[in-house]
Structure 1
Amino acid sequence: MTHQLTRDEARRIIVRAQLLDADRPGDVVEVAEQICWIKIDPTATIAPCEDTELWSRIGWSYEPGQLKKAVEIDRLLFEFDGAFRPISLLPLMLPKMRTWPTRESTKQWLEANDAFRSDVIARLRAEGPLLTSDIPDTAQVSRAPDGWSGSNQVPIMLDFLVRQGVVAVAGRHGRHKRWDLAERVYPQNLPEYDADEAAHLLEERWLRASGLARPHWYWSGVGKTSGEAAVVEGSKNTFRVDPEAIAALEQDDGGRVAFLSPYDGMLFDRKRLEEVFEFTYVLEQFKKKADRVYGFFAHPILIGDRFVGMLDAEVDRERGELRVNAVHEFMPLEPEEDEMVRAEIAELADWLGVGLAEPR
């Protein structure tokens, strides 16, 4: 069976799956369990990505300390590959982690640095948790700097050991990771799955998080047999849709305003944004200032299930103010919509604990 969806239906499915409808979630763990992936990024014209992503869903009751507690004390979330994920995903990821790496060059580097690998594990066992800077570089073979990593081989080894499920991020000191053995960070007695079952269940979780997804191992994590097939008016793609999302289409919780961090998972699949939301999103962070249209780190504005503009705003920490440089409207907002956006900006300032700067 292939579901025939209008754009309106497709948008509602996605918005609800991403917890951006009017029915707000209650806490950090509820958000993580549903959307599966909370991006970590320090760019903070307003607030770090992980905090903005949670505030845009939970609202004023969210505090950054709640995320830290869920990760470092309650161990209900864990950090992996630049994102916080619910611990319920870990058993589904472990089978693949145990067979990593598959790339021959990575295998060769690990084999050549077997003694270095043992050194890192032994130091963590004896002294962990440790910052990266606390671990000496005893690599026998070095990888050349690639623009992301420097000459120090310790971050590379730690990253590889995390991907193998041997070490884990135990927490952070500011923005710096603290590392320990995975056996001391991850819960014990997790469910066990074989590789095929784990991969299938993981794809189903990613589909539930997306609501509606283009099947692609990287862009969505959703396979061609996940959920059910769907086509959307105006699109030539065949999507996969969560059957439970189809069943919930008759429910209408109404819409609200949401400001999305440029690294929000909702924005990750640019093609889906174009075909379903008719929204072409370009991150201007790495463009020259003269080439920017909306601003260095402008946040897309969602009202209900439509992207209506871009918020170019930043916190002036010296003055203790949220400064709104511009609200770029794709089409003129209705008076009620304009009032909703202004109210959400005021809520944002209150949440940040700063004043709202007077327009220049």
Structure 2
Amino acid sequence: MKPEYHLTVQQARYFMLRKHGLINDFKFTGKEGILSFIRQVGCIQFDPIDICGKNPELVLQSRIEHFKKSMLSELLYEERALIDYFDKNLSIFAVEDWPHFDSKRASYQKVSLSREAIDRVIDDVLYYIHQNTFACSKDIHLSEKVNWFWNATSLGRATLETLYFRGELVIHHKKGTIKYYALAKDFIDQEILNCPNPNRTRQDQIEWHILRRIGAVGMLWNKASDAWLGIDEMKAAQRNHAFQSLINSKQVIEVAVDGVEMPLYALEQDRLLLESCLETFKNSNWTETLLPRVSFLAPLDNLLWDRNLIKALFNFEYKWEIYTPSTDRKFGYYVLPILYKDALIGRIEMVNNKKDRTLDVKKIWYEKTFKPDREFKKNLRGSLKKFATFNDCTQVNMTK
């Protein structure tokens, strides 16, 4: 089947960045912008490590104009418009998507790790939370050690996490890295909580999830990718079948990109955006209209979920080296890609020094093809100042 569109690499990049709101003026603003973006991408991946902001906060600060960390917390734990649960690993998504994950919750009903010990105390733990609204593992005085996923842990923690995995508990709030759990029925609207999964079959679920991940990245190909993480029971055969079904039902657009060996797929609902992007390229001076916007991307940013795709479209190789031994790192412990206009031009390592309320810029590595000019340096300084404010820092310290 012949692809509907043939794009240059630069056109493909431009489309991806327009969709993410990462080019020219900000597309998303305030809490409504957060909800709009998360509904567009399906989910943002959670990671608790906080060197200069947690991963979901970093994803949002690069896209949401005037983003504050408190906005995300309020949407999660006060307004309950968002929820923490498993999608692409542990993620944050709109609470109305909860019914789509009933098969995920059902799968955890079958988890047998330390099940006998956990089943013995579940009713008592649920009663305690019912009486006290919420609880963390320290509130549940069950210190007996049991076998758990990474290491042995307390029976109290294992029980709370089991109930959370099964969907009987949700996260009520957090204090630092400590999670406080509450009954799902008390904090999820009953209409959502009792809604059956709209995906009636396993194949429907896979197709829904593939569309969700294409929307999360912008364009994806039909091959093995980290973008598919968290889609249960999907192997190559199921993925191929799902892609063919989505093509036949015209829910995806097949796109050829110069130099990319296989077709990419965008959502049918993004057709107008794709055509608008192509229209932009009819202006031979279109690059002169690009605003000199500098953004710092999260290590687990949606745009970066398929590192091979980023290499193909942006000629940029990125590895999150946080789990790489220090002696083997090419760059640093917690390094963020730098986006300038429509290109990934380097990496930056920053640390939020909370004691001194200083953003320490430890090092910047530029791509060999990029030479920082006066315009870039000016806008870099402006972006660092905004990033410092995002981290509640009062000054920026450039390490020499």
TM-score when normalising by structure 2: 0.78
The residue number in structure 1 matching 2:139 is 134
Residue 230 of structure 1 aligns with an amino acid whose one-letter code is V
The residue number in structure 1 matching 2:360 is 323
Q: Quickly say closer, same or farther: Cα 1:102–1:134, change in 2 above 3 A.
A: closer
Contact 1:97 1:165 in 2 (8 A): no
Which of residues 298, 322, 327 is equivalent to 1:285?
A: 322
Alignment partner of 1:247 is 2:272: yes
CA distance in 2, matches of 1:108, 1:150: 11
The residue number in structure 2 matching 1:84 is 92
CA distance in 1, matches of 2:266, 2:67: 30
CA distance in 2, matches of 1:186, 1:254: 43
The residue number in structure 1 matching 2:179 is 177
Alignment partner of 1:357 is 2:364: no
Deviations 1:290-316 (A, max 9, x none): 433322211100123321000122223
Q: Quickly say closer, same or farther: Cα 1:7–1:346, change in 2 above 3 A.
A: same
Deviations 1:133-157 (A, max 9, x none): 2124388x942x55x3433243333
Query: How far has the Cα of 1:282 moved from its partner?
Result: 1.4
1:1-360 alignment runs, 5 A limit:
2-3=3-4, 4-22=6-24, 23-27=26-30, 28-59=34-65, 61-81=66-86, 82-94=90-102, 96-101=103-108, 106-107=111-112, 109-110=114-115, 113-137=118-142, 142-143=146-147, 146=149, 148-190=150-192, 191-192=195-196, 193-196=198-201, 197=204, 199-215=206-222, 219-220=227-228, 223-224=242-243, 225-226=245-246, 227-249=252-274, 250-251=276-277, 254=290, 256-330=293-367, 331-352=370-391, 353-357=393-397, 359-360=399-400
Range 85-94 or range 119-128, more displaced:
119-128
Range 65-74 or range 245-254, more displaced:
245-254
Task: For structure 2, list consecutive stretches of 5 or more residues without a partner in the other structure.
Answer: 232-238, 247-251, 281-288
Q: Quickly say closer, same or farther: Cα 1:301–1:90, change in 2 above 3 A.
A: same
Percent identical pairs in the alignment equals 19
Q: Quickly say closer, same or farther: Cα 1:345–1:6, change in 2 above 3 A.
A: same
Task: For structure 1, list consecutive stretches of 5 or more residues without a partner in the other structure.
Answer: none
TM-score when normalising by structure 1: 0.86
Query: How far has the Cα of 1:179 moved from its partner?
Result: 0.7
Q: Quickly say closer, same or farther: Cα 1:230–1:58, change in 2 above 3 A.
A: same
Query: How far has the Cα of 1:254 moved from its partner?
Result: 4.2
Query: How far has the Cα of 1:119 moved from its partner?
Result: 3.4
* Number of residue pairs aligned between Structure 1 and Structure 2: 353
Deviations 1:91-121 (A, max 9, x none): 2223x13531487xx2475467433333333
Query: How far has the Cα of 1:327 moved from its partner?
Result: 1.9
Range 222-231 or range 296-305, more displaced:
222-231
CA distance in 1, matches of 2:39, 2:78: 17
Query: How far has the Cα of 1:170 moved from its partner?
Result: 1.7
CA distance in 1, matches of 2:221, 2:156: 37
Query: What root-mean-square deviation, in Å, do the aligned CA atoms of Structure 1 and Structure 2 show?
Result: 2.9
Query: How far has the Cα of 1:86 moved from its partner?
Result: 1.1
Deviations 1:260-317 (A, max 9, x none): 1223232222122122222111122233334333222111001233210001222233
